[in-house]
Structure 1
Amino acid sequence: HALPAQDRGRPALVRGLATLADGPAGDAHHALLLAAALFAPAAPERAAAARLAAADAAWAAGDLAACLASLGPDTPDGPEPESAGDQRAGMRALLEGRFAPAARRLGRVREQGTAAPAAPEALLRSATAALLLGDVEAARRTGSRALAGARHEGSAALVPRALEYLAYAELRAGRHAEARAHAEEGLRAALRSGQRNTAAHHHAVLALAASIEDEPHVVEEHVEAACATARSHGLAQVLTLAQWAAGRADLGRGRPLDAADRLGLLVLAGPQRGHFAVWRLAVPCFVEAAVLAGRAAEARTLLDDFADWAGFGADPQAPAQLARCQALLAPADEADALYRLALDRHTAAGGDFEHARTTLLHGKWLRRRRRPREARDRLGAAVARFARCGAGVWARQARDELRSLATPPSRPDTTALTGLTPQQRRIARHVAQGATNRETALALSVSVRTVDYHLRRIYAALGVRSRLELARLVDEAEQPATG
């Protein structure tokens, strides 16, 4: 006799969930959709759970169309549990940019995390809703309850996932040390239970945590591990997070050209753009890197979209980051007020690392405007905040700025430019005069790639890290010849 459809749905569900944890996300998506179809006639609750799991698989793969298709219409064809309906409709509204209904439906799911008792799986759904809404404190509380429940049940499958949600919540709150602790434990648990996809998420968290510290080799190790699984299993979300971590590490180590190249692939419009729900997190890093790399025009194309993201409220740091981005791109007579607005917003949002980054950039801006007393106050505060959150590589940047403020600048070696090739000297002078890489390429009848290549060599040869430093060096080095 043929098995009932709901009995045939169980193997498909088990297979789909196992593949979602340790296999290609696309395969998991199709297995879970099959399970949902088999469960639908006689077991609507299981069908709803399978559909949500299928949406999770499409989300992990970065397939927006498949995610929306899995979530289905706002009004389902058949009965479904209220919590599953709220989760499904809320996620769909969020992805479609309908923020008011998204906040209403996902808010109900988030509130279910305050009810007791609740199964760990339900608590993880509640934590997901809290993260989507930017309520990181609710995500932490609910994730902790889910972890406690999973440990109590001895669930080897749920413990790594609960630690993943906790780690992401800590990252979103700017608590990198706590995120690293959860991810280290989650990585061990995921590897023990054979969940390579979950392990890849933990590697991405560890890369992001290390990107603020003075540990470039640690960033590279975790990025490589995360990307290896992400590429083989089609995990676009993990890939985007790992590449963001690598770009942020480049920026922290004073390599804006490399950071702009890497992050540009994630945030600029095009087929290679990062995961649909994650790429906006990397926009503030790209804007900073792009301004230093002479690609301000590209950065400006992102501000309207990032302003919409900041207005939704899903990222507590986004409003302050938006003002910081606007300050980086603003004329001199507007930038100071925008930096101060950003700092006020950081004070309201909390979180030392992003606050310190804005403080550092404001301090650099004040130093270039020859306002040493204000610059010293800002840079000293940046050092203290970076030290408090363990951001070693960024603290070094702030200390370097303080030292340059305290020590009168020595005149550059007038032979510095003569060590460049004639082509490199021409490129250096064009860039120092404010030309973009594209404008320089047009003026010299070469490709933009050639200008990019030579500019990297120029930076290394002259020991500068930004276009502003290059302009200052060229101007001062050529003064004796023009004076």
Structure 2
Amino acid sequence: MTPSTTVHSPFRLYGRSGELAVLDALSSRLRAGDGGALVLTSPPGLGRTALLRRAVTDYRERRDGPVLYAAAAPTEQRLPYSGLHALLCSATGPLPLAPDRILGSGITPGGLLGLLKGLGAEQPLLVCVDDAHAWDPDSRAALGFAARRLGAGSRVAVVIGAADETGFAGLPALRLGPLDDDATAALLDRLTEGAGEVDPVVRSELLREAAGNPRLLTGLAGRLTPDQLAGRTALPYPLPGAESVLDAHAAHLDGLSPDTHTLLLLAAAAEEHEPEGAGADAALLLRAGARAGLATAHLDRVLFAPTGSAGALQRAGSRVHFSHPLLRRAVLHRAPPGRRRAVHELLATLLTGPGAPPLPALVQRACAAPGPDAALAGQLEAAAVAPRPHAERSAALARAAALSTDDARRAARFTAAADQARLAGDTGRARALLARVGAHPAGGGAPYVRGMLALGDGPAADAREALLTAAALLAPHDPHRTLDALFGAAEAAWDLGDAIAYLDAMTRIPVVATDRAMAQYRAGMCAVLGGHTDRGHALLRCCLDRSDRADDPGELLRAGAAALVLGEVEEACRTGARALAAVRTRGPDALLPRALEQLAYAELRVGRHARARAHALEGLHAARRTGQPNAATHLHAVLALSASVEGPAEACAAHADAALAGAGPHGLTQAATLATWAVARADLAAGRPGEAAARLGPLVRPGPRTGHFATRLLAVPCYVEAVVLSGRADNEAEELACAVREFTLWTARTTDPQVPAQLARCRALLAPPEEAAAWYEEALAHHDRAGGDFERARTQLLHGQSLRRRRRTREARGPLRDALVAFERCSARAWADRAGGELRAAGEAVDVPDQGSGDPLAGLTPQQQRIARCVAEGATNREVAVRLSVSPRTVDHHLRNVFAALGIRSRTELARLLDR
């Protein structure tokens, strides 16, 4: 065993701050005179050696004391005490026991403990052993014995790096996991410094292949040329550079019997036709092992007792998994090609039979193929169809492409594989497969897949153009995907808020190529946007009626969109729930975020904000998992709208910021409109109508900066409320009249039951005081028919506030009390607080939630708290009066009481107090 007496300064360690903190704590205890031990365990390549070297380097740089450091040499594993010999040879000074006396005669575990304590008596001693699992058993046992007995006052710390805790049970252990995404990306940036810009697809493929293993990532990145990193040259497949990590994994299996190696190879090969992470079928392995001549007793011992395979295999029910994915790859990597092909042929034979699906056997035959095979490629392509999952079809098509002898067929198959990966929700894999298409574009297939990917994670304008181009190329020979491309282009135009572009894409859809429901949807949407509302609504209703018998996710999603355009929001919820169930049952996974988004939005329209939030959160996770940031942007907007009702305000602001940050670069006008509306609604709840009016004005007014054509009218009631409550109705009279006039026309067209009530509320806000009550009563009558606590409570709040402003406080208490109860029932916290403040101002006592000792305003009345916070924000008394619908004299009176209660004398002191 060769000692390592020089430890070079390591590279920066990424993503290991927690592990470094543990090592630093051990070093600190050592410097304080204590001792201890730590076992660092991990599979190969995760940075165990780098952490040990960092610990040694830091200790030596501080000159805290001597260091003993050794790394195992597997070739000396059978030589007794060779490990301890290497460790003691690393000492820089004389030792009480000469290292040469250890070999042959050995040293007792107690003798090693005494030796280490003796060295620690002079100066704190750090002992580091790397790859201790590869030490000889005697050295490992002696080191474990000594390490367990080093503690307080020993002045010796032992850090052991090993693949597992075998031989070191009872010692504190820290198991390293893969690096997280941020750390892996930062490491890749460092590895590719000086290589120029790394192509995003190449970057994604490297990160995917490395799976958080820093040594593997280093090997992969180091073997690619600058042209390959930049995407100018195609990547080699499989990617080179993994050999050292795979060899290190395979080394752990060297001591196993030949029969166990055979079974491990069968298990590794049997996973090739299975979905990723599904493991192998135990029954198939039993049959294959028996066919390969393995004894039944050996099969039972290995498959049913994991220790029989040195922990390499783990059984879970009817499935068998490798303990680490790289271990499976290592088994295949080390097997001779001829033996590996024979195993695949054996499995293919066992998987072939009457009633058996053809794809698994074909995949095994593809793995056994020594080179390109056009016939086998054709069979794979023919078998990669429904009902096989999209991920399996993608993998099979990629294998068919690799076996293809014709360049055009290879390109077409890689394109089809990319499309199936996209549908499976694996956008990174889809882009990597597209990169293998090469110079043969395969008709419009590649532009189609790129356009559909851009629809999920790129600028909407780019997606629209790519899909229109793809539709033109696909039209002569692929009518089905032509339809998908045109509907995708229309969806991109909708996200952009470009009604003309939406009509352009929809009118390109050939009527003869569509079924009846699709034709009705196309004609109905075109009629509505073309101004023929009655005819369009009739067609959309037909489309909606036909969806009762539908089970196709795409058709159900279109029916849900038709229901929203009609304003039949309850039907939109029902259809959205059916669409979600269809996607979960039939797929594809790529549609899951969209289905959840549409259902959540419909539930918002109905007023079920908590359910909308739950579905939107699930959709947000699905969008991130499937690589669709555009869907995540829309879902953030939905969550902002939900939080503008339920609170807290910080959640509304955070989701709105995320939506606006994603909407801007990708031109997602609908998401931006909804997010802005959400923030304005939160401003209204907090008593900031001026800010709300400023946000909503550009959305509802005609002009170049207007909101989305399909959603901006939903914000008109909030805009009217904000302008009136902020006292700007006279200044914006023309804009108000225009907005209400347009909202009135829309009310006559939509069947949304809340809209007539909202229109009556707007008219109440704009009416002379003596006429307002009648309009509020009409609005409440509409609410009674429509249902929904939140919108009714808003009307009651405004009605009560109007009565209180006219000094009719006794009459105001009834609607204000009803509003408070309704807001509390639908968990609208900020709105309940506003209603409670109005009710208290009307002279009725309301329980005040405990604000906690940390709030400097906790001792004030709710009205005083509201006035204090407004003043601290810089508002004048008159501005506060407008916000809270009280007189300036009332504000002045309360403010004097606030100053007295808090022991301050100025607005400046109040602002400082709240800042603290």
Give the structure-1-normalised TM-score.
0.83
Q: Hey, what does 2:782 align to over in structure 1?
A: 345
Q: Shift of the alpha carbon at 1:15?
A: 1.6
Q: 1:226 aligns with which of 650, 659, 684?
A: 659
Q: 2:537 aligns with which of 71, 84, 103?
A: 103
8-17 or 468-477, which deviates more:
468-477
What are the Cα deviations for residues 57-100 of structure 1, in whole angstroms up to 9, with x where unaligned? 00101112211211217x95754332222222111111123211
Assess if the C-alpha contact under 8 Å between 1:48 and 1:81 holds in 2. Answer: no
Q: State the percentage of identical aligned residues.
A: 51
Q: Shift of the alpha carbon at 1:155?
A: 3.0
Q: Hey, what does 2:569 align to over in structure 1?
A: 136
SS at match of 2:630: helix
In 2, the alpha carbon distance for the partners of 1:6 and 1:143 equals 37
1:299 aligns with 2:736: yes
**Amino acid in the other structure paired with 1:157:** A
Q: Shift of the alpha carbon at 1:462?
A: 6.7
1:90 aligns with 2:524: yes
Q: 2:464 aligns with which of 16, 22, 29?
A: 29
1:62 aligns with 2:486: no
In 1, the alpha carbon distance for the partners of 2:749 and 2:477 equals 39
Q: Shift of the alpha carbon at 1:269?
A: 2.0
Assess if the C-alpha contact under 8 Å between 1:291 and 1:299 holds in 2. Answer: no
Q: Hey, what does 1:17 align to over in structure 2?
A: 452
**Amino acid in the other structure paired with 1:385:** A
Q: Shift of the alpha carbon at 1:472?
A: 6.1
Q: 1:148 aligns with which of 581, 599, 606?
A: 581
23-32 or 465-474, which deviates more:
465-474
In 2, the alpha carbon distance for the partners of 1:139 and 1:85 equals 19
Q: Hey, what does 1:396 align to over in structure 2?
A: 833
Q: Shift of the alpha carbon at 1:7?
A: 5.8
Assess if the C-alpha contact under 8 Å between 1:280 and 1:306 holds in 2. Answer: yes
Assess if the C-alpha contact under 8 Å between 1:44 and 1:79 holds in 2. Answer: yes
**Amino acid in the other structure paired with 1:195:** Q
Assess if the C-alpha contact under 8 Å between 1:52 and 1:88 holds in 2. Answer: no
Q: Shift of the alpha carbon at 1:274?
A: 0.7
Q: Shift of the alpha carbon at 1:474?
A: 9.0
1:53 aligns with 2:488: yes
Q: Hey, what does 1:326 align to over in structure 2?
A: 763
Go from structure 1 to structure 2 and tell me whether the alpha carbon gap of 1:189 and 1:133 turns closer, same or farther (over 3 Å shift): same
Q: Shift of the alpha carbon at 1:175?
A: 0.6
Assess if the C-alpha contact under 8 Å between 1:213 and 1:392 holds in 2. Answer: yes
**Amino acid in the other structure paired with 1:466:** R
Go from structure 1 to structure 2 and tell me whether the alpha carbon gap of 1:264 and 1:2 turns closer, same or farther (over 3 Å shift): same
In 2, the alpha carbon distance for the partners of 1:407 and 1:350 equals 27
Q: 2:547 aligns with which of 96, 110, 113?
A: 113
Go from structure 1 to structure 2 and tell me whether the alpha carbon gap of 1:134 and 1:366 turns closer, same or farther (over 3 Å shift): same
RMSD between aligned residues? 2.6
In 1, the alpha carbon distance for the partners of 2:511 and 2:549 equals 29
Go from structure 1 to structure 2 and tell me whether the alpha carbon gap of 1:156 and 1:460 turns closer, same or farther (over 3 Å shift): farther
26-35 or 306-315, which deviates more:
306-315
Q: 1:178 aligns with which of 598, 601, 611?
A: 611
In 2, the alpha carbon distance for the partners of 1:183 and 1:460 equals 41
79-88 or 26-35, which deviates more:
79-88
**Amino acid in the other structure paired with 2:686:** R
**Amino acid in the other structure paired with 2:540:** L
What are the Cα deviations for residues 176-222 of structure 1, in whole angstroms up to 9, with x where unaligned? 00100000111011111111011111101110010113411111110
Q: Shift of the alpha carbon at 1:173?
A: 0.2
Give the structure, 1 or 2, with the largest relative contact order (CA under 8 Å, sep 6 or more): 1
**Amino acid in the other structure paired with 1:323:** A
Q: Shift of the alpha carbon at 1:463?
A: 4.0
In 2, the alpha carbon distance for the partners of 1:151 and 1:328 equals 46
In 1, the alpha carbon distance for the partners of 2:779 and 2:891 equals 32
1:239 aligns with 2:672: yes
In 1, the alpha carbon distance for the partners of 2:876 and 2:613 equals 34
Q: Shift of the alpha carbon at 1:35?
A: 2.0
Q: Shift of the alpha carbon at 1:469?
A: 3.0
**Amino acid in the other structure paired with 2:756:** P
In 1, the alpha carbon distance for the partners of 2:498 and 2:591 equals 24
Q: Shift of the alpha carbon at 1:467?
A: 8.3
Matches within 5 A, 1:283-294: 283-294=716-727
Q: Shift of the alpha carbon at 1:110?
A: 1.4
Equivalent pairs counted in the alignment come to: 429
**Amino acid in the other structure paired with 2:818:** A
Q: Hey, what does 1:466 align to over in structure 2?
A: 883
Q: Shift of the alpha carbon at 1:126?
A: 1.2
Q: Hey, what does 2:645 align to over in structure 1?
A: 212
In 2, the alpha carbon distance for the partners of 1:292 and 1:18 equals 45
In 2, the alpha carbon distance for the partners of 1:291 and 1:350 equals 26
Assess if the C-alpha contact under 8 Å between 1:44 and 1:80 holds in 2. Answer: no
**Amino acid in the other structure paired with 2:458:** G
**Amino acid in the other structure paired with 2:805:** R
Give unpaired runs (5+ residues) of structure 2.
1-406, 413-439, 846-870, 895-916
138-147 or 2-11, which deviates more:
2-11
What are the Cα deviations for residues 17-38 of structure 1, in whole angstroms up to 9, with x where unaligned? 1111111100110111112212
Assess if the C-alpha contact under 8 Å between 2:823 and 2:831 holds in 1. Answer: yes
Q: Shift of the alpha carbon at 1:285?
A: 0.5
Q: 2:684 aligns with which of 229, 251, 262?
A: 251
In 2, the alpha carbon distance for the partners of 1:319 and 1:204 equals 25
Q: 1:266 aligns with which of 690, 699, 712?
A: 699
Go from structure 1 to structure 2 and tell me whether the alpha carbon gap of 1:462 and 1:369 turns closer, same or farther (over 3 Å shift): closer
Assess if the C-alpha contact under 8 Å between 1:146 and 1:162 holds in 2. Answer: yes
Q: Shift of the alpha carbon at 1:46?
A: 3.2
In 1, the alpha carbon distance for the partners of 2:892 and 2:623 equals 55
